[in-house]
Amino acid sequence: MRQAPMAMEVARRLLTHEVGEGQDPEDLAKAAESACQKLYRQLAKLIGSAGFQALLLRAVSLAKAEFLFLKRVESEPEAGTCLKGLLESVQGRDPGVVKDSLIAMFANFISLLVTFIGEDLALRLVRKTWPEVPFDDMGSGSEEAKK
């Protein structure tokens, strides 16, 4: 799945925010789990737990096509683990490749979400989840969306 530039940028910003100063594969995996849990808490209200899990599993599946080391990653958000197996899957991997894989996974998720609920609502929910992250230059008011 080719992600929209907007989805890639949103994914990059939210992962960068969650990981902070940490850049090793384990830090990135923990940041991805944290981001996923936050999205789950926000989106399960709207699309339900099963809807969230379906989108997440599809997003992970799409990322696996390019990043084979994600093949053991599963999702169990109701059990408290959004990305089961991720930490083990990224250990010993190149941090840049891990970061790219997680950005691709979240971009897939955001692209799928946009397909189902629209860009405006999807971005509004992301902004609500991370009010401290600057997303104001994105969405229907941005130059990208006007094209």
Q: Give the C-alpha separation, 61 to 132, whole Å.
A: 30
Decide if pLDDT at 147 tops 60: no
Confidence of residue 23 (pLDDT cuts 50, 70, 90): confident
The answer to whether residue 138 is domain-embedded is no
| 76: its two tokens | 């169990």
Give the domain extent around 41.
5-130
Neighbouring C-beta atoms of residue 119, cutoff 10 Å: 19
> Measured over all CA atoms, what is the biggest interatomic distance in the chain, rounded to whole angstroms?
42
State the total domains in the chain. Answer: 1
The answer to whether residue 49 is domain-embedded is yes
pLDDT at 135 (0 to 100): 79
The answer to whether residue 135 is domain-embedded is no
The answer to whether residue 142 is domain-embedded is no
The answer to whether residue 78 is domain-embedded is yes
| 97: its two tokens | 């490749």
Q: Which residues are registered as beta bridge partners of 84?
A: 74
The answer to whether residue 140 is domain-embedded is no
Terminal C-alpha separation, the chain = 21
Q: Give the C-alpha separation, 99 to 29, whole Å.
A: 9
Q: Is 82 helix (H, G, I), strand (E, B) or coil?
A: strand
The answer to whether residue 46 is domain-embedded is yes
The answer to whether residue 145 is domain-embedded is no
67-95 pLDDT, tens digit each: 999 999 998 766 778 999 999 999 999 99
